[in-house]
Chains A and B, each alone.
Chain A
Amino acid sequence: MVWFLTALALLLLGGVLSLVLSRSRKTASLVGAISASAGGAVVLLQSFDVLISGQSQSLRLAWSVPFGSANMAVDPLSAVFAVVIALVTMLAAVYGTEYLRTHADKKNLGVSWFFFNLLTASMLMVVAARNGVLFLISWELMSLASFFLVTQEDEKETVRRAGWIYLVAMHVGTAFLLVLFLLLGKDSGTLDFDRLSTAAAPSWVFFVLAVVGFGTKAGFIPMHVWLPEAHPAAPSHVSAVMSGVMIKTGIYGLLRMLTLFGSLPAWWGWTFVGIGVVSGVMGVLYALAQHDLKRLLAYHSVENIGIIALGLGVGVLGISYKSSAMAALGLTGCLLHVINHALFKSLLFLGAGSVLHATGTGELDRLGGLLKRMPITGATFLVGSAAISGLPPLNGFVSEFLICLGAMIGLSGQVSLTASPLMGVLVVGGLALIGGLAAACFTKALGVVFLGEPRSGDVAEAHEVGRAMRWPMIVLAGLCVLIGLTAPLWPVVLQPAVAAIVPQQSSIAAEAARPLTGVVVGSCILLGLVVVLVQVRRQLLVRRRVEQAVTWDCGYTAPAPRMQYTASSFARPLVLLFRLFLQPRDDIDRPQGLFPKHAVLHTHAPDLFRRYVYEPLFAAIVWTTSKLRWLQEGRIQIYVLYIALTIFVLFIWKLR
């Protein structure tokens, strides 16, 4: 634990130092990034040590705060999350040094780095805390630090609004967690995790509180509304951290909560599966309808949290139906997808940041042809897109494979369950639909942004970003491939973490490794064939005429870049097919007259949950509170009277 504390101290020290040295933008950036990387590296080493040895490390300090001691530990489950947090924040920090240089003119970079390091440190504290008070303090610090990062460009109205929505959403979520911990500590009088008791209330109360509280952070539908607002508003390297790792702390919270219960009812698993299918399908559908690159990616986080929830659901069902194979496969898939999503989503957000950096816009229909201008960003974005669509030989396929296999164990006769067909249909059918739609969405994003011709003038003059922004993307893309090709290793690595939730499952990891070996063999054959075919093509063309011409346009002679298919038109058939869920709106200004001058078409897909659930809800709250406005008289005597009355009532209540 010494090393873990050292890392925290490094992060906080670096943050404060960066704040102090903020007079020089360059020094502030350098100090911030170096401390973030150093802290991350230390955590990375220690977490790997915990994962490999399987030995958890803990620390218990007395403090004067009520409800137990300052109790911290890194067990394999925490270590998995700590590895992801450390890795992604390190790379994002390196990226940030260059990104912030041009993207935050006239901003105090010291403040930005201070909150970045505070966010990293608080996330690490969240996964290491073993005391409710410490956990909630870290949780709140995490929310606040990220709030200040989201609102960095606070001169923009949209950013302030996004920050406000984010702040409200986080606190509503935290309110549920506060109640959850109060109930958990009610019987034992302490909030130390090892002495929490679930006897104070029926277990469904805990479950609902945890799903709402942690689910708000994770972005489960319908608690996801803050996500598509806050992620695009933040600077890109912060979006990468928030989307890649911060929302995963919600998943960590749920997993940690599950360890408190001896037996898990099946309906918990079904709830997770339901949440997973709804979040996955709705998330990707909303993503399809978006025109802004970062907003599209934010909705994909909702989709991937859905996939993680599917894995969690399969795991919980496995536990409650007493099939350790199903439980282990589901939870391994869940944890592996946490890692995978952190890798490819932060890669994609960094890619989106580079596009923003180079062109100044994230509007899909203004971009195009960037692969020629930004080859590294384009190629890494392609790897990320294929990975997030769950395609072999990359990492996204491996975790989805494990979740599917877990859901189908019930059908294979190893365990006989009446519920297995429903599970197969929901999980496998859901994942197939999500995968197909995600592929549609990412071919759209990649095709419109990086392929074809530039759709506006600024884009044509874009340049590749600098080294500090390129390398983090290359490393992340490399890791996506690496996990895909070392698939059989991962169930073994994650086994101690899964064992924290499903105790008896020693041989499962080895068993899961066998099909994954098959996957890797298939992937290697695929890559080998690609190499061979590249050679064959080269040999065939070596002595033949290879010409350059314009794209075939059916005899039309003056093609212009604006005639290309747009993102909106690409997604239109799918958006219309699912119009029941998306309710797309068109604002159309039709061409009129014999020689029309102009015509305008805008397509929107507003978030239905925001429109039909939250806006009426908050309007109702405003209406109710406005009815209490007469209490506010503005005269000080009245307020003194209120205080006196309150004390009087409290006295009577106490004397009763």
Chain B
Amino acid sequence: MTMLASIVHVMCALLLAPALPGVITRVKAWFAGRRGPPLLQAYYDLWKLLHKGAVYSKTTTWVFVAGPIVGLACAMTALLIVPMGGTAGVLSFSGDFLLLAYLLGLMRFFTILAALDTGSSFEGMGASREAFYSALAEPALLLGLVAMTAQSHSLSISGMVAAVTPVAIASPAGPALLLVAAALLIVFLAENARIPVDDPNTHLELTMIHEVMVLDHSGPDFAMIQYAATLKLWVLGALLVGILVPVRSGWWGVDLGAGIGGMVALAAVVGVIESTIARLRLVRVPQFLVAASVLSILALVLVMR
């Protein structure tokens, strides 16, 4: 039964992930007093891109083609590991969180290489920043998970998240979990190229990070990148929702529904964040990311106290 729930979660994620950016843009439009694009805009975009041809730069090699493919494969594999609240991941074992973190690392590795493969200095700049920020975000993510291990005594990410029950939140370890959630929120925003680290809607290549790296991709390749980005949003979001929506009723349908509701709420919160705060100056971003690591370590101290 639990395996069925896990599979249902993966299916839901594969189908619903592109709706999350729609929710974010709708909320932002509402704040700005606009109507905004339809909720399903991302699906239309994907559909359109999948039916287009492609243009490749003469400079590029097979690495440029491999970038989106490996990226999407990594995001899908990561989706198999991540739990949604009490619903365990399809693939769950001791130390699976390391595989999850390093799969995201592999995805980034290939995205950066594909960007450098074009020989464009804009894309090189984006690649440099991506490598820079992710080197600081990775310790924050893993330290947050170390703190969760200490709280749950589980070495598997499914076990860690399942241990976050209303009882646990009310216990003395509760504040520590909230600190972990704060750290993971920072990682979530940084890794998914959202404000205040990166602005997906800026129109200047010089100021973008993630979007500038994929300037040269087109057609199905670009569709894969966009889809992989929404899956990554789902993967890291599911971790956050796992802590912040501790619905553990025992009926998997209810738990999963609450989790998916949580994802939509999280997307709305991202919309609010993007509407209310400005992007950080590039030199301030490292401090923001190091703060996430510090929050994680603080959480660990609180748990072990």
Contact = CB atoms under 8 A, between A and B. Distances in A.
Nearest to A448: B116
With a 10 A CB-CB cut-off, give which of B51, B93, B101, B105 has the most chain A CB atoms.
B105
A396 to B, nearest CB: 10
Interface in B80-128: 80-81, 91-96, 98-99, 101-103, 105-106, 108-109, 112-113, 116-125, 127-128
B63 A382 contact: yes
B53 A544 contact: yes
B5 interface: no
A548 B65 CA distance: 13
Contacts of B63: 371, 382, 451
A631 interface: no
The prevalent SS among residues of A at the interface is helix
B139 A433 contact: yes
Contacts of B274: none
A425 B96 contact: no
Interface stretch (B164-172, B237-245, B253-261, B297-305): B297-305
Interface string B267-305: 000000000000000100010000001000100110110
A413 B94 CA distance: 13
B124 A570 contact: yes
B224 A533 contact: yes
Interface stretch (A109-117, A144-152, A184-192, A534-542): A534-542
With a 10 A CB-CB cut-off, give which of B69, B72, B137, B286 has the most chain A CB atoms.
B69
A565 interface: yes
A9 interface: no
B207 interface: no
Interface in B11-54: 50-54
Interface in B107-155: 108-109, 112-113, 116-125, 127-129, 131-132, 134-139, 141-143, 146, 149-150, 153-155
A389 B105 contact: yes
Contacts of A451: 61, 63, 113, 116-117, 119
A378 B66 CA distance: 14
A424 B95 contact: no
Interface stretch (B178-186, B192-200, B213-221): B213-221
A533 B72 contact: yes
A429 interface: yes
A378 B103 CA distance: 22
A565 B139 contact: no
A530 B70 contact: yes
A572 interface: yes
Contact of B119 (A386, A436, A452, A573): A452
A547 B127 contact: no
Contacts of A571: 128
The prevalent SS among residues of B at the interface is helix
A515 B303 CA distance: 25
A408 B159 CA distance: 14
B150 A421 contact: yes
A574 interface: yes
A445 B295 CA distance: 33
B205 interface: yes
Contact of B135 (A386, A433, A546): A433
A577 B94 contact: no
Contacts of A536: 220
Given A551-B57, A573-B129, A574-B135, A522 B215 contact: no
Contact of A421 (B153, B286, B304): B304
A404 B220 CA distance: 38
Given A391-B109, A521-B91, A433 B121 contact: no
Contacts of A552: 57, 118, 120, 215-216
A429 B137 CA distance: 11
Given A515-B93, A541-B219, A544-B219, 9 more contacts: A368-B119, A425-B146, A429-B143, A436-B105, A439-B131, A533-B224, A537-B221, A541-B53, A565-B121
11 contacts: A371-B61, A389-B105, A404-B98, A432-B142, A436-B137, A521-B91, A526-B73, A541-B53, A551-B59, A552-B216, A565-B123
